[in-house]
Amino acid sequence: MQSTQKAVRIHQFGKADVLVYEDAPMPVIQADDVLVKIHASSINPVDWKVREGYLKDMIPHTFPLTLGWDFAGEIVAVGSNVSDWKVGSAVYARPDIGRDGAYAEYIAVRASEIAVKPASINWQEAAAVPLVALTAWQALYEGANIQAGERVLIHAGAGGVGTFAIQLAKLRGAHVITTTSTKNVELVKALGADEIIDYTQSDFASLRDIDVVFDTMGGEIQDQSWQTLKRGGRLVSIISPPSAEAAAQVGATPLFCFVQPSATQLQALAELIDAGKIRIIIDSVFALKDIAAAHAKSESGRTRGKIVIQVSE
């Protein structure tokens, strides 16, 4: 096997100009790892937050660092302790964010973090699933533990996390209310939203008697969400830990979710996708060498679904 690969790495924290498309060493797999040839990856806000150094106290990365923690590809080698995977298997994953990521032709990943790629979708669609779908699953199903009939407010329903959150909440039997802009009203309606707040026309803060708020925005949006909750409601954020004091004032439970790898949940998601119960929305596709432009689009906060990176055919 070759000794180098093409990858996009950073050698310091900073703006998009620190992203370098270059030759990098092939990943070395440990006994519990598999080596995956990546066909597609995707962009998540955590990528540029790591790039700018926002998470440096939380995740001890070393340079040079390959970003990107979503991928779909095929196994080309297995570690000495790995018996349940074989070369040629098509897989997808959200790998350990503490290790080198998937803006590369190959990735070393723990065998325990991968799942079989959904058979009914292509590499690009599969790469768009793991991080955002796991985030929605873990926030809504594990954190907030939403129940059938509950009123759930999902902020930014047309975003990467939001598109999956709407669908997963509906699969649980929840009544889904979501915020979006005018141009995405039809999209979120098609995904199953029961009520749509076009934030260019009206204010979600007038809502009341919400059981669960899913905060994908933070800041003022999080602050204004407390008043929409009924007593005993839950606010789960993926941006910043919600205020226990604010929660206490309205008799609600504050929850924070930082997504973790889960092969079991990815397998369950694959089954839902292959059963036609979850749609995947792709905003745009960029080549690996054009990562900086993909980051700029992600940072605009105006994406419909996921931005995908085509790595190899």
All structural domains of the chain, each given as residue ranges with its CATH number in brackets, are: 4-129+281-310 (3.90.180.10), 132-256 (3.40.50.720)
Structure confidence at residue 156 (pLDDT): 97
For tokens 């059981």, name the residue. Answer: 211
Of 100, 80, 97, 78, which is closest to residue 89 (Cα–Cα)?
78
Structure tokens at 131: 């991080």
Whole-number Å distance between alpha carbons of 176 and 169: 7
Q: Other C-beta atoms within 10 Å of 307: how many? A: 23
Report H helices in 79-184: 123-127, 130-137, 160-171
pLDDT averages per 10-residue partition of the chain, 313 residues: 94 97 98 98 97 93 97 98 98 97 98 98 98 98 98 98 98 98 97 97 97 97 98 97 98 97 98 98 98 96 94 85
- pLDDT tens across 240-292, in order? 999 999 999 999 999 999 999 999 999 999 999 999 999 999 999 999 999 99
